Amino acid sequence: MSDQRAGSSPAATRGPGAGDTAEPPRGWSPWRAVVGFGVVSLAADMVYEGARSITGPLLASLGASALLVGLVTGAGEALALVLRLPFGTRADRSGSYWPMTIAGYALTAVCVPLLAVTPFLGAAGLTVGCLLVLAERTGKAVRSPAKSTLLAHSAGPVGLGRGFGVHKALDQIGAFAGPLVVAALVAVTGLLWPALAVLAVPGLASIALLLWLRRRTGDPLRDQARAEGAQPTVSLLRAGRELPRAFWLFATSSALTTAGLVTFGVISYHLVTDDLVPTAAVPVVYAAAMASSGLAALAVGWLHDRRGARVLLVLPAMVAVVPVLAFTDAWGVVVLGVLVWGAATGLQDSTVKALVAQLVPAGRRGTGYGMFAAVQGVAAVAGGALAGWLSAESVPALVAVVAVLQLAAMALLVRTLRTTQPA
């Protein structure tokens, strides 16, 4: 893989294994398949992003302490990232990309509406609520490597940057709409559970759309896996060693970026405790960040296919700016910081994945996405703890630490791009 160009021409965006994406999926053009995956994600994001905007208040209403809310939501995000490692490897080994994608979305579609029942379960409500939050995040881990592999296959002929960018833009429409729907229903009813119950509608829609998409596109990756024969079972350590050096350079760079990207939970805590916005307005601010995320993914994805992977050099700079803006006392400046935060998260979940698809052989993309997410998960936990501590102790220290992390991330990214140039 060291002779693969990551960078300077649209053709380079096909990446290793591009031959497996030279033909469009059976029955549909590549763009239709990409948009189809995007619409599925749109519906699913309405469900889980809508729920995430009020998970803290829901658990608090069930009797959870602030510590328990932090532990459950933090553990959920760690599960959503770290568990992608075994599930991604399994998808590559078995070729069951579609079954794992469907199972993961089904967990989200079921678990989130069931949260509406928890206020009526008495003392058991808190336990059930915590378990449902963790199960929903596990569903994200089950589906993500398999879905990203299917999407990379479909997007190959049209450009990985554009494909992932369009998918992310559609995805973020749901992430924008879901919290707004939840905020409106909470404002009208004064209750949390009706808003969660209504999310069953987009949840069912996501599963129906996914099954329809499966019928229209076929399962070329499973057919390919069967033709090549079953892959031998290998340890996760050996699977990691088989991935290219450039992949691990990029994974380390992305881990530093993830560790430096202050979580929205910490930012929203600052918004509320410093009386910058009322609590009821927090989902609206979050929705604005999701809109910024989608637009940034679309724009940078297009630039990725035009200018190459070096457009990702903007990501560490964006991450470094977030704490400078988000922890001021001026409401407008803080909102600008939230928008930059949203744009950075959009790039992490779109254009970054396009480069991963270029760096990893097509038959190991599920493993690559799983390994990549596991590294990010560890960094997210460490970064979240660091941001929560330093934001309370010293904002200038937080700004300085994030800046140092992003300088290191940029240096590793430059090294990655040089490594993937031909000798």
Confidence of residue 114 (pLDDT cuts 50, 70, 90): very high
Q: Is residue 35 one of the residues assigned to a domain?
A: yes
Please answer whether residues 236 and 92 qualify as being in contact, where contact means their C-beta atoms are separated by less than 8 angstroms.
no
Please answer whether residues 337 and 324 qualify as being in contact, where contact means their C-beta atoms are separated by less than 8 angstroms.
yes
Task: Say what the pLDDT of residue 17 is.
Answer: 41
Q: Is residue 288 one of the residues assigned to a domain?
A: yes
Q: Is residue 193 one of the residues assigned to a domain?
A: yes
Q: Is residue 407 one of the residues assigned to a domain?
A: yes
Helices (H) and strands (E) in the chain, counts: 19, 0
Global pTM exceeds 0.85:
no
> 86-100, 290-304, 333-347 — which one is most confidently predicted on average?
333-347
Q: Is residue 366 one of the residues assigned to a domain?
A: yes
Token pair of 7 as six digits: 């960078």
Domain count, the chain: 1
Distance from C-alpha of 67 to C-alpha of 223, rounded to nearest angstrom: 48
For the cut 80, the answer to whether the pLDDT of residue 15 exceeds it is: no
Q: How many CB atoms lie within 10 A of CB 65?
A: 10
Return the higher-pLDDT residue of 400 and 270: 400
What is the length of the chain? 423
Q: Is residue 18 one of the residues assigned to a domain?
A: no
- The domain that holds 227 is classified in CATH as 1.20.1250.20
Residue 179, domain extent: 27-419
Q: Is residue 257 one of the residues assigned to a domain?
A: yes
Distance from C-alpha of 257 to C-alpha of 416, rounded to nearest angstrom: 14
Please answer whether residues 67 and 130 qualify as being in contact, where contact means their C-beta atoms are separated by less than 8 angstroms.
no
* Mean of pLDDT values over 14-27: 44
Distance from C-alpha of 31 to C-alpha of 39, rounded to nearest angstrom: 12
Residue-wise pLDDT for 179-236, tens only, equals 889 888 988 888 889 999 999 999 999 999 999 999 888 777 766 655 555 555 555 5
Q: Is residue 19 one of the residues assigned to a domain?
A: no
Q: What is the DSSP string of 346-385?
A: HHHTTHHHHHHHHHS-GGGHHHHHHHHHHHHHHHHHHHHH
Token pair of 95 as six digits: 């070729």
Lowest-pLDDT range, 151-155, 337-341, 360-364, 394-398? 360-364
